[in-house]
A and B are shown apart, each in its own frame.
Chain A
Amino acid sequence: MASVTLSGIRKVFPNGFAAIRGLDLEIGDGEFIVLVGPSGCGKSTLLRLIAGLETVTDGAVLIGERDVTDLSPSERDIAMVFQSYALYPHMDVQENLAFGLRRRRTPREVIGERVGGIAGALGLGELMARRPGMLSGGQRQRVAIGRAMVRQPVVYLMDEPLSNLDAKLRVSMRAELARLHDRLGVTTVYVTHDQTEAMTLGDRVCVMLDGEIQQVDAPGRLYREPANAFVAGFIGSPAMNLAIAEVADGDLRLGDHRLPLTEAQRARVGARSQVIAGLRPADFALRAADVAADDGTSTAVRLPVEAEVVEHLGAEQLIVFPVDAPRYHAGPVAARTEDEETLLAEPARSRFTARLDVRREVRHGERVELFYDPARLYLFDAGDGRSLAREPAEAAG
């Protein structure tokens, strides 16, 4: 087992495309780190660089104390789970699992023992004589994971290993992976598109954009204290509401709404005339009392809105309301096109989403009053998107 250190990594593909643009990351021994980011941001590329399947253009990769930058994948002592499984089609499950061990001249009994153990743990027992072509998607997935497990490498690399599974199987495999990691404690780098996976599995989550790291933090911290507007908008579902607000008399003006600032926030805003304001959908409530902010530091802010769209989800409801302020865009185009709502929205207007309980059902077109805790307002620099919460609050005050 070992840590993984990436220092000054750059990857320029032969066609001139810079997929990783200078990246430093230290992954602790035994840590489970999850890479997330919009499609095409370089997650797979980074994983492949760690694996040695691609050579870095610049920078160094260390596994443990060892500089492996110039070593081949086999010399790095890693195991990888591919998104497409990449099982060997001409070998049965038993041979697939044993293949990597055979190469390493592991004694026959040890191979049998380990393969048997892993097969038992993953419920592959009666499948051992089948070839991948005769397995279901979930079974193939388990073989792919099993193939990595038997190797007992110092690092696991997993590229969206659960993405081809149905929702139910994904949940159980996720739990299985978490258990395995707890038991074996092997350093794991895990790529996913699934927020739940990222938040539940990761000791830390690394958010990437266009080949650069935006933030690396524990899931909770990433959610509570996003380093910039991109991370804020990327982590959390539904996504954080972000819009450009004008600073007026120490408060914010967001279209027709006035958003009061706390003292601390005012200090951080400083002399800026514009900031990006962010509010999480879940931080809205229909009653002032439901906004948990009664420690005296702030009082709930009232926001009268018109529910343009209402989605009833059973235990909760989402309402979408217009806000007369410019949208904030972060990230590449690909990240923005994910919901068509954003495509349709005119840039001068934003649509906010609130996630509310169902004690009172809101109807389409209804005017309602929402409440939120001003301390939960996120503020980002309108120029580079950096979080103002990270600035020393004392600077101005």
Chain B
Amino acid sequence: MAAAARPVRARSRRSPGDRPFGLSLLLWGGIVFFTILSAFPYLVMLSTALKSPQELAGPAHWIPDTIDLSGLQRTLADPSIWGYFRNSFTIAIGNTILVMVAGVPAAYVLARHEFRGRRLFLDLVLITQMFSPVVLLIPLFRLYKETGLLGSMEGVIIAGSAFTLPFSIWLLTGFFRSIPVEIEEAARIDGYGRLGILFRMILPLSVPGLVATAMYAFIIGWNEFIFAVTFLIASPENQPVSVGVFASIGKWDIDWQRLMFMALLGTVPVLALFATIQRQLDRGFATISSGR
């Protein structure tokens, strides 16, 4: 497979099948391998969610003998499910808003202006990447206890968005940089100040980048787990889906069917989002490797 490491576009004029048989075999081997690896958890979810409890209790197998949707019924019938989803959504939206509000102006000045402390700020942001949420749980727990954030979704949002922020700033900075400076200068001459330029030039022109970053923040917020499981342990009414799923495996009698449905419902929306922003993320990644 290694032998075929050439960019796609480099071969655009040749037909897809134009490679030696051995390489083709390797390539398709790779495709199948990675597909299975990635799809495995979803296959498990589907296979389990669609089996009846009796079938589940029997020997393991992939294809359900009969499609049984009673798990879905039980999932949808449970009022607490809606709460979980509402909370996941609230946390994801909150995360998005906070990340954008803090990230957009910061990324803008970092992309466009040279000022004292710029390097320092960037270094500090980089250092935050060394932190794991776990390392900060205890002091945050104490801080939240004092400030009354413990048990609230706000607390989870604040902590989560701080962890989402560095990568978002970096993504946004790349998008802002790709807008020619002259356009901003023209707007300055046309009489617009910094805020005017930000709102009338930079933001409209970086809509794809903004959307991608917002979606990224949404996904991270939706998938939030560590802070939620720690800070919301005593407030089940505020728990998101991820904690709901986790909490149900602690019980004696696990309803796997229902759990898998919850996991599926909790995953599919963000998968769709993620597939949408793939291209933008790719563009962002390409800028790092070109060393900007």
Q: Within the complex, are A and B direct neighbours (CB within 8 Å)?
A: yes
Could you say which of B182, B187, B189 contacts A84, with CB atoms under 8 Å apart? Answer: B182
Instruction: Fill in one digit per residue for B183-202: 1 if any A CB lies within 8 Å of its CB, else 0.
Output: 10111111111001000010
Q: Return chain B residues, CB-CB under 8 Å to A229.
A: none
CB-CB under 8 A for A86 and B183, given A14-B114, A103-B196: yes
Tell me which residues across on chain A come within 8 A of B186, comparing CB atoms: 80, 82, 86-88, 147
Asked if residues A73 and B183 are in contact (CB atoms below 8 Å), the reply is no
B180 within 8 A of A: yes
Known interface pairs A82-B182, A103-B196; A90-B204 also in contact (CB < 8 Å)? yes
Choose from B114, B183, B192 the contact partner of A74 (Cβ within 8 Å): B192
How large, as a class, is the contact surface on chain B?
Answer: 10 to 19
Chain B residues numbered 191-231 whose CB sits less than 8 Å from any CB in chain A: 191-193, 196, 201, 204-205
For B186, the closest partner residue in chain A by CB is A86
Task: Assess A78 versus B190: contact at CB under 8 Å? Given A84-B180, A90-B204.
Answer: no
A73 touches B185 (CB 8 A): yes
Chain A 328-371 interface mask (CB, 8 Å, partner B; 1/0): 00000000000000000000000000000000000000000000
Q: Give bound CA distance, A51 to B182, whole Å.
A: 13
How would residues 78 to 113 of chain A score, 1 for a CB under 8 Å from any chain B CB and 0 otherwise? 111010111111100000000110011000000000
Contacts of B196 in A (CB 8 A): 103
Q: Most chain-B CB neighbours within 10 Å: which of A14, A82, A87?
A: A82
Q: A237 within 8 Å of B by Cβ?
A: no
- Measured CB to CB, the closest approach of chain B to A273, in angstroms, equals 52
Interface centre among A51, A78, A85, A103 (most CB of B within 10 A): A103
Chain B, range 88-128, C-beta contacts under 8 Å to A: 114
Q: Mark B155-195, 1 if CB is under 8 A from A, else 0.
A: 00000000000000000000000001011011111111100
Give the residue name and chain of the A residue nearest to B114 (CB). A14
CB distance from B91 to the nearest CB of A (A): 33
* Residues in A whose Cβ lies below 8 Å from that of B192: 74, 103
Interchain CA distance A14-B115 in the complex, whole Å: 10
Q: Taking the nearest CB of chain B, how far is it from the CB of A319, in angstroms?
A: 44
Instruction: Give A51 to B187 CA distance when docked, in angstroms.
Output: 12
Type the 1/0 row for A46-88, where 1 means its CB is closer than 8 Å to any CB of B: 0000011100000000000000000011100011101011111
- CB nearest neighbor in B for A86: B182
Q: Is the CB of B190 within 8 A of A99?
A: yes
Q: Is the CB of B191 within 8 A of A103?
A: yes
Count: A-B pairs, CB below 8 Å? 57
Contact of B190 among A52, A53, A84, A103 (CB under 8 A): A103
A-side interface residues, number (CB < 8 Å): 24
A53 touches B183 (CB 8 A): no
**A14-B114, A82-B182, A82-B185 known; A74-B204 Cβ under 8 A:** no
Most buried by A among B185, B187, B188, B189: B189
A99: B residues at CB distance < 8 A: 187, 190
B182 A88 Cβ-Cβ under 8 A: no
| Contact between chains at B205 and A72 (CB < 8 Å) | no
- Docked Cα-Cα span, A87 to B201, in Å, equals 11
| A76 closest partner in B (C-beta) | B189
Q: Provide the residues of chain B in CB contact with A90, threshold 8 Å.
A: 204-205
Contacts of B205 in A (CB 8 A): 89-90
CA distance A73 to B204 in the complex (A): 22
Q: How many Å lie between the Cα of A267 and that of B285 in the bound state?
A: 71
Minimum C-beta distance from B283 to chain A (A): 17
Closest to A83 in B: B182
Cβ-defined partner of A100 (8 Å) among B180, B182, B190, B204: B190
Contact yes or no, B201 A73, CB < 8 A: no
B176 to chain A, nearest CB (A): 14
Q: Report if A74-B189 is in contact (Cβ < 8 Å); known contacts: A90-B204, A103-B196.
A: yes
Q: Are B189 and A89 in contact (CB under 8 A)?
A: no
> What's the minimum C-beta distance from A283 to chain B, rounded to whole angstroms?
42
Q: Per-residue 0/1 for B2-44: is the Cβ within 8 Å of any A Cβ (1 yes, 0 no)?
A: 0000000000000000000000000000000000000000000
Q: Which residues of B contact A74 (CB under 8 A)?
A: 188-193
With both chains docked as a complex, state the minimum distance between the C-beta of A329 and any C-beta of chain B, in angstroms.
Answer: 34
* Bound complex: CA A103 to CA B193 (Å): 10
Residues of A within 8 A of B190 (CB): 74, 99-100, 103, 147, 151
Given the complex of chains A and B, what is the CA–CA distance between A89 and B201 in angstroms? 9
The residues of A that contact B183 with a CB separation of less than 8 Å are 86-89
Given contacts A84-B180, A89-B205, contact A78 B114 (CB under 8 A): no
Which residue of chain A is the closest to B181 with respect to CB atoms? A86
**A103: B residues at CB distance < 8 A:** 190-192, 196
A88 to B186, CA, bound (A): 9
* Residue on B nearest A89 in the bound complex, by CB: B205
Which chain A residues have a beta carbon within 8 Å of chain B's beta carbons? 14, 51-53, 72-74, 78-80, 82, 84-90, 99-100, 103-104, 147, 151
Given contacts A87-B186, A100-B189, 5 further A-B contacts (CB under 8 A): A51-B189, A73-B185, A74-B191, A90-B204, A90-B205
Q: Tell me the B residues contacting A by CB distance below 8 Å.
A: 114, 180, 182-183, 185-193, 196, 201, 204-205
11 sample A-B contacts, Cβ–Cβ < 8 Å, listed by A number:
A52-B188, A74-B188, A74-B190, A82-B182, A88-B186, A90-B205, A100-B189, A103-B192, A104-B191, A147-B190, A151-B190
